[in-house]
Structures are given as structure tokens and as C-alpha cells.
Chain A
Amino acid sequence: GAVVSQHPSRVICKSGTSVKIECRSLDFQATTMFWYRQFPKKSLMLMATSNEGSKATYEQGVEKDKFLINHASLTLSTLTVTSAHPEDSSFYICSASDGTSYEQYFGPGTRLTVT
């Protein structure tokens, strides 16, 4: 089956610093990648959709200058949380689609804690 990896799996950073999270499709070409965020006991909320080679489309309420998304290749997308604050602490999950169906393959998630 399709495999998606995320790195790091867990990160703790200080308030005001930036954190980069990588999402890789290991055995298929991901034409579209999605970034979700999940707060404790809440549902996954879509943050943005990125297509390879073009700018990401952000959901309402998600600041594009704070959550920088780059999808430079068909196997890699990155999410950078800039000037992180404690309220950015969350579980960030990426998913990838090969464009042939609506199925998405999820990465294992990155747990971010901002102190």
C-alpha cells in the first residue's frame, strides 16, 4: 500500500522559533498533499491543500504567512510553523493523494509542543 512518512514525529520548541515538518510519499507520486491539524479530543481540521509546483490553498482562518507550505516535488511537502506560540501546539498530520481517486494516504503525524 501507499506509504507516507512525516518527520519529525515529535518536536518541542520555544515560543517565537520556527519549526519545519516534512511529509514524504515514499512509493508513489503525490500530486496533491493536504495538511491537517488536530487539537485534543477534536476532529482533524484541514489547514491547506497543496499541489506540486503551485501555491497552497489555505482554509479560512489559517494564516498563510504563519504556516508556510512548500510542495516542490511530487514526493515532498513541507509545513513551516513560523514564530510558534503555545496555542500552535497540536497534532499536525499530512496526507497525500496520487490524483487517481479521492483516497488519501495519511502520514503518522507530528506532535508539536511550543513552550
Chain B
Amino acid sequence: RKEVEQDPGPFNVPEGATVAFNCTYSNSASQSFFWYRQDCRKEPKLLMSVYSSGNEDGRFTAQLNRASQYISLLIRDSKLSDSATYLCVVNTGRRALTFGSGTRLQVQP
């Protein structure tokens, strides 16, 4: 079983739509959780950290369920510029990050 699993997509949504991505992780000792965004042929960029209480940053909302080992990302009012691959990332305390394979989002006009 992969350490971090994501639906690869692609998710094709119209502008203005709300879209949600899910991710599960296998290591119950995982300590930190993140969503990164990666554009084609570029390095990943931190989108947001994910906290147990859930957190929101503008149109983006992240949730963490430690009991189910599940992380989610909700994007409201999708923009064309949101088209990218979204990476679920987990830190198990070794300081290195474990990346999911990513979920591709394509927002269409």
C-alpha cells in the first residue's frame, strides 16, 4: 500500500465550480500535513498546511481526520489559474516529506 494515496484524476470542472480532493495516508505516526501545488514541469509550491481543526485560506479549505487518516482540500469558485496538480504531502517526523502522486485539476472556461 502506498504511504500517501490520491485519486490521480483528472478532474475537469467549469470555472466557478467547487471541487474537492481527498487523500489517505497509511502511517498513523504522521505529524504534519500539507497540500502542495505543482504546475507542469515546475517545482511543487506549498499551498497550505493542514491542521486538525481545519483551516481556510481564501477559496481553499483543508481538513484533516486523524482517526480515518484522511485529508481533504476544497476549492471554491474555481479559476482557470487553479489548473494544476495538487499534491497531498505528509511528514512522519523524519523531516523528509512523503508525496502523493497528485490529483490533476483542469478548470475549463
Contacts and interface: CB of A to CB of B under 8 A. Distances in A.
B51 to A, nearest CB: 13
A51 B17 CA distance: 44
A42 B102 CA distance: 8
Interface stretch (A12-20, A78-86, A100-108): A100-108
A91 B41 CA distance: 8
Interface in A28-57: 32, 34, 36, 42-46, 49
11 contacts: A42-B101, A43-B99, A43-B100, A43-B102, A93-B43, A93-B44, A102-B32, A102-B91, A106-B43, A106-B45, A109-B43
Interface residues of A, number: 21
Interface string B42-54: 1111100000000
A111 B43 CA distance: 11
Given A102-B91, A102-B97, A107-B43, 18 more contacts: A34-B97, A36-B99, A42-B101, A43-B4, A43-B101, A44-B87, A44-B99, A46-B98, A49-B94, A91-B41, A93-B44, A97-B95, A102-B32, A103-B46, A106-B44, A108-B42, A108-B43, A109-B41
Interface residues of B, number: 20
Contacts, number: 43
A98 to B, nearest CB: 11
Contact of B97 (A42, A91, A104): A104
Contacts of B95: 32, 49, 97, 102
B44 A44 contact: yes
Give the top 5 A-B pairs by smallest Cβ distance, nearest first.
A43-B101, A106-B43, A44-B99, A102-B32, A43-B99
